[in-house]
Structure 1
Amino acid sequence: MVVMSSEEFAPPKYAQIVQTIRQKIADGTYPPGSLLPSETQLVRDFKVSRPTVVRALQVLQLRGIIEREHGKGSFVKATPPGASNQSPRPGRAILDRVEADENSAIIEAGPVAASAAVAKLLDVPEGSTVVRRRVLFRDDERPTDLFTVWCPVHQTEGTLLAEAEPLPAGIREHLRESRGLKLQHVVERLSARHPSADEAKLLEIRKSAPVIGVLASVFNGGGRPALVVDLVLPGDLHELEDSYSL
């Protein structure tokens, strides 16, 4: 009989950080609106690498528990009246992630012809030129998510979206600063599915493994589509939860 150690059943390091921070939020150590310890402090406290800490903070942001502000830090979200927590906002979370602050690799960045599906979501003619940016994020152990964004080419002029270098700010902030473009509304659809062959290869998972797909249409202040976002999350690393009153 093979005897397995308790370490083989232990959750990943980033998940342990998530659990600890959630517990401290629940017991009032980190009250709503408070600033969490810096990434450097968390690295020292948990004795892990910075990518592991960043991954944990991204998961907390994805679940709607914290907000991350570039250059300022991570803040515990205030709980709205009548709800014990805010709903997860995967689309918004990915738009606010800073590639340069994470362990990211630019898989692709540049102009492509819009497919029928992307053209429909962006309300542009099929085959028209759009900029596609594809980024793979990972922690110490493995790839954690694959992010793709499509944007009409005229809206990327003066931006770094077509450049194969990590963005120094989240896409939402980058578009606001470089183009004056304000993203104000997101419609997102979540699905459980199997990965494509390309996704499975990049995420280093089996083709039969489940993934969570998040497809988001992002609109500007005038109600026009500005971006299409596709986020692929390995099912064994992510869970999306919600909490609300009846």
Structure 2
Amino acid sequence: MIKLSYREIAAILRQEIMDGLYPHGSLLPPEPVLAERFGTARSAINNTFRVLRGEGLISTQQGRGTYVTAMTSPIVRNASLRYQAHAREQGHGAFDYEVRQLGMTPKSDLTISRVLPPEQVAEILGVSPGGEVLARSRQMYADNVPVQIATSYIPLDIAADTVLEEAEQGAGGMVSRMADLGFQQTRMTERITVRPPSEAEAEFLSMSSEQRVYVIHHVGWTSSNRPVEVCVHVMPTHYWQLDYSWEVDPTSS
């Protein structure tokens, strides 16, 4: 019998997960059982699990074993589509629309407060040192699976004592309500970085140290070129697919 490498074992288990032999949410056999199956040492299976955890296919819970992750398909975040009115207003904002496209049920736990913004956010919004902003912080789920942490920061001269300080935003979500208040966003910019999750993020998102998160700094701008919202999205890379598209100027050389 040819001894398989841990990467080859990972490829076999990956395919078995994709084929449904190990359904999403199910418990994988323990390391000793898999080591016997593949005729290898437990250390090789440990390395196999490390690879599959890094891909987001499995999650190891201390004292309980290793499970196939609950998500069956990545959530598609289409940056061009998600802020179009017809998409947002089918539900309560862009996230609601994205999750429902998979036939899943979105849910968010929302905290609204006036806070001192992170330094980078304050700089973008032009908030003076010590100045507060409105923060709408959401812990977000798809079918009870935690999939994102997102915090929107809005200047108080826009948000104070308005509907933006209320939990329910109605059809179209916060972007539509800002437009109702006279601060329609006509341009948006995003910067994406990838890093390990913080301890708090890993705990909420059920992530391991091998996994990574996208961090998207999203800025909404008005036609007068004023930044009126900064949203910081923290998203497990294995749960999300980021799609972007843009027009090409045919006259450019």
TM-score greater than 0.5 by the shorter chain: yes
Once the 2 structures are TM-superposed, how far is the Cα of residue 195 of structure 1 from its aligned partner? 1.3
Once the 2 structures are TM-superposed, how far is the Cα of residue 242 of structure 1 from its aligned partner? 5.2
Equivalent-residue separation in structure 2 for 1:241 and 1:207 (angstroms): 26
Equivalent-residue separation in structure 2 for 1:226 and 1:171 (angstroms): 12
Aligned match of 1:149 = 152
1:127-166 equivalent positions in 2, closer than 5 A = 127-140=130-143, 142-163=145-166, 165-166=167-168
**Segment drifting more, 108-117 vs 63-72:** 63-72
Aligned match of 1:172 = 175
Equivalent-residue separation in structure 2 for 1:172 and 1:126 (angstroms): 26
The partner residue of 1:69 within 66, 83, 86 is: 86
3-state SS, counterpart of residue 200 of structure 2: helix
How many residue pairs align between the two structures?
182
Amino acid at match of 2:231: V
Amino acid at match of 1:69: H
Contact 1:111 1:162 in 2 (8 A): no
Contact 1:145 1:234 in 2 (8 A): yes
Contact 1:122 1:152 in 2 (8 A): yes
Structure 1 residues 225 and 195, CA gap change in structure 2 (3 angstroms): same
- TM-score, normalising length: structure 1: 0.60
Amino acid at match of 1:62: N
Structure 1 residues 240 and 224, CA gap change in structure 2 (3 angstroms): same
Equivalent-residue separation in structure 2 for 1:224 and 1:61 (angstroms): 25
Aligned match of 1:221 = 223
Structure 1 residues 196 and 162, CA gap change in structure 2 (3 angstroms): farther
Contact 2:136 2:152 in 1 (8 A): yes
Once the 2 structures are TM-superposed, how far is the Cα of residue 68 of structure 1 from its aligned partner? 6.7
**Deviations for 1:63-116, whole angstroms, at most 9, x for unmatched residues?**
657867269749xxxxxxxxxxxxxxxxxxx964459x8632334211011232
Aligned sequence identity (%): 19
Once the 2 structures are TM-superposed, how far is the Cα of residue 172 of structure 1 from its aligned partner? 1.1
Structure 1 residues 152 and 202, CA gap change in structure 2 (3 angstroms): same
Contact 2:88 2:94 in 1 (8 A): no
Equivalent-residue separation in structure 1 for 2:174 and 2:137 (angstroms): 12
Contact 2:78 2:244 in 1 (8 A): no
CA root-mean-square deviation: 3.9
Amino acid at match of 2:160: E
- TM-score, normalising length: structure 2: 0.58
In structure 2, runs of 5+ residues without a counterpart are: 1-11, 26-69, 249-253
The partner residue of 1:111 within 83, 105, 114 is: 114
Aligned match of 1:185 = 187
| Structure of larger gyration radius | 2
Equivalent-residue separation in structure 2 for 1:187 and 1:65 (angstroms): 14
Contact 2:108 2:139 in 1 (8 A): yes
Once the 2 structures are TM-superposed, how far is the Cα of residue 173 of structure 1 from its aligned partner? 0.5
Once the 2 structures are TM-superposed, how far is the Cα of residue 183 of structure 1 from its aligned partner? 0.7
